[in-house]
Amino acid sequence: MDSEFVDGWTIAQTLGEGAFGEVKLLLNRSTGDAVAMKTVDLEKHPDARTSMRKEVVIHRILTNPHIIRYFGQRREGNIEYIFLEYAAGGELFDKIEPDVGMPPREAQKYFAQLLSGVEYLHSRGVAHRDLKPENLLLDDHDNLKISDFGLATMFRMHGKERLLDKRCGTLPYVSPEVLTRPYSAEPADVWSCGVILVAMLAGELPWDQPTTDCPEYAAWKENRYLHITPWSKLEPVVLSLVRKILVPYPSSRYSILRIKAHGWCRKRFSAQFGARNYEPGAKRACPGVGSSPPVCHSQPEPQDCGRDPEPAGEGVPFSFSQPAALDHLLLSSQFNCTQTSTQPGQPAYQKLVKRMTRFFVRVSCEEVSRQLCQVLEKNACSWKVHTVNMITATSQDKRKMLLVFKAMILDMDGQTLVDLRLSKGCGLEFKRKFLRIREGLGDVVLKGPVMWPIAKATHSLP
């Protein structure tokens, strides 16, 4: 496809990869509006046809401030496009410090917004089935948006509910009944919200999977957990809430209504509890999405709300995701980064924003590329050098699941910027890997926040 997509909309860069395709960022040269475009080649992935159709049907019935907005779809030959709101604030996991979490005031805010979005989904008869921090995005006002409805399904239609029987989701976040089947939709999503809350407050996941052969989960189920992490990191009042959410039996699990009435959810935290003791996630320099996305048409008719058409499987599909920042995308050669916001109609892209997975180094691009490959190898990562400016690293997390991330190395007016972003896998595991890599580079890493005029970039990404 040409970089000039339609009516002045330009494909700036790939945002993420998924099991069946990619998500790309579209920019309007005239207005500066940004839209996320999910693309799937149906000839290469014929199995995606049904799931794409279901995803579009579900998106069409959703309108909520905490759900990613749907703009429409388009098909050209075998390529299917879905146009979605671009969440300029990145992914929630970028706000979570590994093994630390985030201040309770922030966690409470995001948890309340998550509950609001999930409550709305359930009111529309929709189960998400893959709630996790990587699928929770933030807009440029730092408000949470639920994304990625590739595994979502309708569990209620015309007042009639059905049990679900598809084993899907991401193992540390799925409820125990999902692994045994059949299961009720609403309690399963509520369980995932509880695991997300633990991750936000403790910076770690409570278990690899909720099965009795997992020691951490067995300890939780048998009330032998008080002096082990992550539970020892939680204050009694929030632990009492988590105990009501992560109940192995869905019939006894708190509903969203009861969760919202709990004392922790209504507690007022002072401003000091919102302060960070580590570098914050970024506020993004994206002007937001306008009301006129690219031309979209040909909507499918709703499906019958029967059994899941996809076969049950052991695998856990990788979900589409967006990066934690817009800035490195705007260094694409397909977009004129030297223009500034002082020109009429130009967006304010003049700053690189602060982000946790980026740092400056005191050596050249070539030298840091060489050292980075050595550090990757020491950290059990295989790697591929595409150019001196881009390296793809592949590893496994502690659950033996695939972890893929990219390192972008940029010459910024004589200073060298190393920018790592997650492509596939667990966000918390990626953040842990990032910290080890940065530490492994030693004294070549410069301290301090990363802020730099984007117009000074002398290298563009391929």
Q: Span 183-190, mean pLDDT?
A: 98
Q: So which residues are the catalytic ones?
A: 130
The predicted pLDDT at position 184 comes to 98
- At residue 262 the predicted structure's pLDDT band, cuts being 50, 70 and 90, is very high
SS3 438: helix
56: CB partners within 8 A, 6+ apart = 70, 73, 82, 299, 300
- Beta strand segments in 242-389, E: 358-361, 382-387
pLDDT band of residue 281 (cuts 50, 70, 90) is: very low
Task: Indicate the pTM of the whole model.
Answer: 0.77
* Ordered structural domains, the chain, with CATH: 4-85 (3.30.200.20), 92-274 (1.10.510.10), 357-456 (3.30.310.80)
Q: Which residues contact 208 (CB under 8 A, 6 or more apart)?
A: 171, 172, 214, 216, 398, 399
Helices (H) and strands (E) in the chain, counts: 9, 17
Residue 408: strand pairing partners: 390, 419
pLDDT of residue 5: 59
Q: Taking residues 16-40, what's their average pLDDT?
A: 82
Would you state the structure tokens that stand for residue 436, as one six-digit string?
């080890």
Rounded CA separation 444/432 (Å):
19
Q: Report pLDDT for 15.
A: 67
Write the pLDDT tens digit of every residue in 231-255: 999 999 999 999 999 999 999 999 9
Q: What is the residue whose two structure tokens read 């590739």?
A: 150
CB 122 within 8 A of CB 185: yes
Radius of gyration, CA atoms only, the chain: 22
- The string of pLDDT tens digits covering residues 329-367 is 333 323 333 233 334 343 333 223 335 688 899 999 999
In this predicted model, which residue has the larger pLDDT, 370 or 321?
370
CB < 8 Å & 24+ apart, contacts of 114-117: 114/66, 114/144, 114/146, 114/193, 114/196, 115/193, 115/256, 115/259, 115/260, 115/265, 116/64, 116/66, 117/64, 117/66, 117/67, 117/144, 117/145, 117/146
- For residue 12, name the pLDDT band (cuts at 50, 70, 90): low
Identify residue 385 by its one-letter amino acid code.
V
Q: Is 387 or 84 the better-scoring residue by pLDDT?
A: 84
State the pLDDT at residue 380.
92
Structure tokens, 162: 């059905």
Please tell me the predicted confidence (pLDDT) of residue 280.
Answer: 37
Joined tokens for residue 214: 């997992």
- Alpha-carbon distance of 133 to 145, in angstroms, equals 11
pLDDT of residue 6: 60
Cα→Cα distances 176→208, 343, 346, Å: 12, 56, 50
Q: Supply 238's token pair.
A: 């929030």
> Binning pLDDT at 50, 70 and 90, where does residue 265 land?
very high
Kindly give, in sequence order, each residue whose CB lies less than 8 Å from that of residue 245, ignoring residues fewer than 6 positions away: 190, 191, 193, 194, 197, 253, 254, 259
| pLDDT above 90 (res 275) | no
Residue 373 or residue 7, greater confidence: 373
Position 303 pLDDT exceeds 50: no
Type of residue found at 352: L
Tens-place pLDDT, residues 50-102: 888 999 999 999 999 999 999 999 988 889 999 999 988 888 988 999 999 99
Tell whether the model's pLDDT for residue 8 goes beyond 70: yes
Report the pLDDT value the prediction gives residue 327, as an integer from 0 to 100: 38
Per-residue confidence band for 13, with pLDDT thresholds at 50, 70 and 90: low
| Tokens representing residue 207 in the block | 């278990």
Say whether pLDDT at 48 is over 60: yes
